[in-house]
DNA sequence: AAGTTGTTAGGTGCACACAT
DNA sequence: ATGTGTGCACCTAACAACTT
């Protein structure tokens, strides 16, 4: 791709542009190029892209593009970062992998299929995706389409580690050139390479397969810059004895006065990992030290979950690195958004990574860490295609309608634009639901000013959630009159979404501590049960929470007895999590490591249970006395699946 | 210690597959 | 066509833990 065909700027089309990581890479690479259009369906990403580049990507459905549409851009190169979800390991693990059958993959294939129908096909293509894509049927179809369209390809699986950056994020890349263009090392055509050597025109002493690449990984690590190179100097580590922060869910509060008064250590505190999380997830955390030469990929859920979402930094160097018993003394903290950005920038400055082709590849999407920094305090939103509206207060206002001096309460109005998304559904009432399962029914009234929520209903919602003046509410239309409400509370740095029932807070305080009573997202109460059976079952499994794929899901531990015809959910589990079940005989699933098994919800004597349990016990050779961690998945507040984890394996 | 509550084991009936 | 065995669904009693 580094090869310049002619002097005039490349005309580039950017598909799935996200926040513009690919464009940034292109600019940083030094290639003379002009992005003639970008396509992205996510409006939040487009806000960031527009902020960064002064151009708002086309927010249409990529699948609706025609060959004629694409011809009009006369693009030399297409950059594509199609959605990676269809190829992730989690999808594979769940046995849910659909690859090209997945709607998210089909739009990508649709674009490729347009190539032969364009009058001026792009001369170059660049595709980026997750590891796993290279074995998908989407990949097979992509290669097939490209070959038929006269393209020659070179594929790579590369990690920033190979460019001196202490960041482990292997990704799949495909470069494609349309004949008669060619690569500098044509003998690597149509190969999957695990070394960047050919990009520099260097074929000697480079690894061409996975095994060789892994053998060389230790050498790569030694040549990386240490993590401390991208630490934020204003968030330096505070060496010394561990403080009392560990009693707090959020380290920025409840710590001793000395540190509170110190602006530097206060900024540290907001990123400290609470002790409760260390106790619960310590053995699953990826810990790095300032002198470490690698860290794990930061994902969208970094800051929300600790397991598998990115590395944590030990700010106090222990005598024995990585020893779990020392974790509490290491004052673990999250990397800040700025530091994640720094890692990105450092890569750009890496001496070996300065070549255009390499920069283009590795400045691609860096996920949420960058998104957070770039979007400042904007909450990240999912399901952006659904109608939504946001409410926040001006200075001096409160959420309670009683306190409003205006004749009508603006905070209780439902925007007309939102109502138009489902006009019939909003005639009489709406139902608000929140992430921790609670819901509120609000009756509506209409007058000349618009559609209002009843004052009493609204005030109940406000008081139940202890809404404060700095809070931001995001209302997302789910279905008919059902609306998901996301509540964002301000802390000293940015807005954080509340994922469990909030506690009433000191009006002076800005941070809300999650309440583990109605729902235990990060720190659930001790094992639910009042009977011996359940307690004994939990005693069989050490830290059952560690097995959960989503820490906020309800769970219980099942110890197998003699009767295995149905899997009962005890009343206590039901009450503790406020679980709702479908009616008798409604369908549900057991989610197992490699398969999903259909079954039905049964209601016997008011107690919910799931049939088909005996077959699973047999299939997985479970015997009396074995313990299984049952993680409950909900949809629309109703338990629709049980994800089974077998700790004994 | 008695009462209450929730879970589990035992028992029964039904449906289905297979052998006679 | 009938008998037998097996698995599942469902109900209920017994038991264990907890509460008063």
User: What are the beta bridge partners of residue A641?
Assistant: A589, A633
**Quick one: pLDDT band at residue A335, thresholds 50, 70, 90?**
confident
The per-residue pLDDT for A528 is: 33
Q: What rounded mean pLDDT belongs to chain A?
A: 65
The per-residue pLDDT for A423 is: 58
Domain annotation for chain A: domains and CATH numbers: 10-218 (3.40.50.150), 233-335 (3.90.120), 388-498 (2.40.330.10), 532-645 (2.40.330.10)
Q: How many angstroms separate the CA atoms of A64 and A628, rounded?
A: 47
Distance B7 C1' – A583 CA (angstroms): 22
The per-residue pLDDT for A323 is: 45
On the question of pLDDT at A521 being above 50, the answer is: no
Q: Of the candidates A402, A517, A515, which has an alpha carbon nearest to the alpha carbon of residue A462?
A: A402
The strand C neighbours among A residues 515-534, by Cβ under 7 Å, are 530-532
SS3 A490: strand
Which stretches does DSSP call E strand in A190-305?
192-193, 287-288
**Quick one: pLDDT band at residue A319, thresholds 50, 70, 90?**
low
> Which residues of A belong to the active site?
84
Question: Which one of A119-128, A276-285, A434-443, A588-597 scores highest in mean pLDDT?
Answer: A119-128
Stronger pLDDT, A126 or A581, i.e. the higher one: A126
The per-residue pLDDT for A151 is: 92
Q: Please check whether strand C approaches the CB of A189 to within 7 Å.
A: no
Q: How many angstroms separate the CA atoms of A244 and A24, rounded?
A: 43
Which stretches does DSSP call E strand in A33-170?
33-39, 77-80, 124-130, 151-158
The per-residue pLDDT for A133 is: 80
Radius of gyration of chain A (CA): 27
How much of chain A, in percent, has pLDDT values that exceed 90? 1
Name residue, tokens 């009433």.
Answer: A504
Count of residues making up chain A: 649
**pLDDT per position as a tens digit, A466-494:** 787 777 788 887 766 778 888 877 654 45
Average pLDDT on A623-642 reads 76
The per-residue pLDDT for A529 is: 31
Q: How many angstroms separate the CA atoms of A125 and A175, rounded?
A: 6
CB within 7 A of nucleic chain B? A 529-531, 533-534, 537, 558-559, 561-563, 565, 568, 570-573, 605, 607
**Quick one: pLDDT band at residue A78, thresholds 50, 70, 90?**
very high
The per-residue pLDDT for A342 is: 67
Read off the tokens for A273.
């990992």
On the question of pLDDT at A631 being above 70, the answer is: yes
Q: Please check whether strand C approaches the CB of A566 to within 7 Å.
A: yes
In the complex, which nucleotide's C1' lies nearest to the CA atom of residue A558?
B7
Q: How many angstroms separate the CA atoms of A634 and A403, rounded?
A: 37
The strand C neighbours among A residues 596-615, by Cβ under 7 Å, are 600, 602, 604-605, 611-612, 614-615
Q: Are A381 and A388 in contact (CB under 8 A)?
A: yes
On the question of pLDDT at A446 being above 60, the answer is: yes
Question: Which one of A179-183, A226-230, A603-607 scores highest in mean pLDDT?
Answer: A179-183
User: What are the beta bridge partners of residue A475?
Assistant: A389, A485
């Amino acid at each position: 791709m580094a090869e310049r065909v002619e002097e005039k700027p490349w005309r580039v089309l950017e598909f799935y542009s996200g926040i513009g990581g690919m464009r940034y890479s292109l600019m940083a690479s030094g290639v003379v190029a002009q992005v003639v259009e970008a396509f992205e369906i996510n409006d939040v990403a487009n806000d960031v892209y527009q902020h960064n580049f002064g151009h708002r990507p086309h927010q249409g459905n990529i699948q609706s593009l025609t060959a004629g549409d694409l011809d009009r851009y006369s693009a030399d190169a297409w950059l594509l970062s199609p959605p990676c979800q269809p190829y992730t390991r989690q999808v594979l693990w769940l046995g849910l992998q659909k690859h090209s059958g997945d709607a998210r993959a089909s739009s990508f294939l649709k674009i490729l299929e347009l190539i032969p129908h364009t009058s001026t096909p792009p001369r170059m293509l660049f595709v980026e995706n997750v590891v796993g894509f290279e074995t998908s049927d989407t990949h097979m179809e992509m290669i097939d389409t490209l070959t038929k369209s006269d393209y020659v390809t070179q594929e790579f699986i590369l990690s920033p580690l190979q460019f001196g950056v202490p960041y482990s994020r292997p990704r799949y890349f495909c470069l494609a050139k349309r004949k008669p263009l060619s690569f500098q090392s044509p003998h690597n055509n149509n190969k999957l390479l695990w070394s960047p050597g050919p990009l520099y025109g260097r074929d000697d002493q480079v690894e061409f397969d996975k095994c060789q690449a892994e053998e060389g990984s230790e050498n790569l690590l030694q040549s990386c810059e240490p993590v401390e190179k991208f630490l934020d100097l204003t968030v330096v580590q505070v060496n010394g004895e561990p403080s009392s922060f560990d009693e707090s869910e959020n380290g920025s509060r409840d710590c001793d006065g000395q540190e509170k008064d110190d602006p530097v250590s206060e900024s540290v505190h907001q990123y400290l990992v609470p002790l409760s999380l260390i106790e619960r997830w310590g053995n699953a955390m990826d810990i790095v030290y300032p002198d470490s030469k690698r860290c794990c990929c930061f994902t969208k859920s970094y800051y929300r979950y600790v397991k598998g979402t990115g590395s944590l930094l030990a700010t106090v160097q222990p005598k024995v690195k990585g020893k779990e018993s020392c974790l509490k003394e290491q004052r673990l903290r999250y990397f800040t958004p700025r530091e994640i950005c720094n890692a990105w920038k450092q890569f750009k400055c890496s001496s070996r990574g300065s070549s255009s082709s390499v920069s283009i590849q590795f400045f691609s999407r860096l996920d949420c860490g960058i998104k957070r920094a770039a979007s400042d305090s904007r909450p990240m939103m999912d399901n952006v295609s659904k109608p939504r509206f946001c409410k926040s207060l001006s200075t001096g206002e409160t959420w309670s309608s009683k306190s409003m001096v205006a004749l009508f309460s603006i905070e209780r109005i439902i925007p007309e634009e939102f109502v138009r998304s489902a006009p019939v559904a909003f005639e009489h009432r709406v139902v608000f639901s929140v992430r921790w399962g609670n819901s509120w029914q609000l009756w509506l009234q209409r007058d000349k000013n618009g559609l209002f929520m009843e004052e009493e209903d609204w005030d109940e919602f406000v008081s139940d959630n202890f809404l404060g003046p700095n809070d931001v509410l995001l209302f997302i239309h789910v279905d008919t009159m059902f609306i998901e409400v996301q509540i964002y509370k301000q802390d000293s740095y940015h807005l954080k979404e509340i994922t469990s029932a909030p506690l009433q807070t000191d009006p002076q305080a800005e941070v809300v501590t999650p309440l583990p009573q109605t729902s235990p997202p990060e720190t659930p109460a001790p094992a639910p049960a009042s009977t011996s059976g359940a307690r004994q079952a939990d005693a069989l499994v050490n830290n059952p929470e560690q097995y959960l794929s989503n820490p906020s899901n309800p769970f219980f531990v099942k110890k197998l007895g003699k009767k295995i015809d149905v899997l009962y959910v005890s009343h206590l589990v039901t009450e503790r999590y406020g679980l709702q079940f479908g009616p008798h005989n409604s369908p549900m699933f057991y989610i197992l490591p490699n398969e999903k098994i259909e079954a039905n919800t049964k209601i016997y004597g008011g107690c919910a249970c799931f049939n088909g349990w005996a077959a699973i016990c047999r299939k997985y050779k479970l015997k009396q006395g074995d313990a299984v961690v049952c993680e409950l998945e909900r949809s629309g507040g109703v338990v629709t699946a049980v994800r089974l984890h077998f700790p004994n394996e």
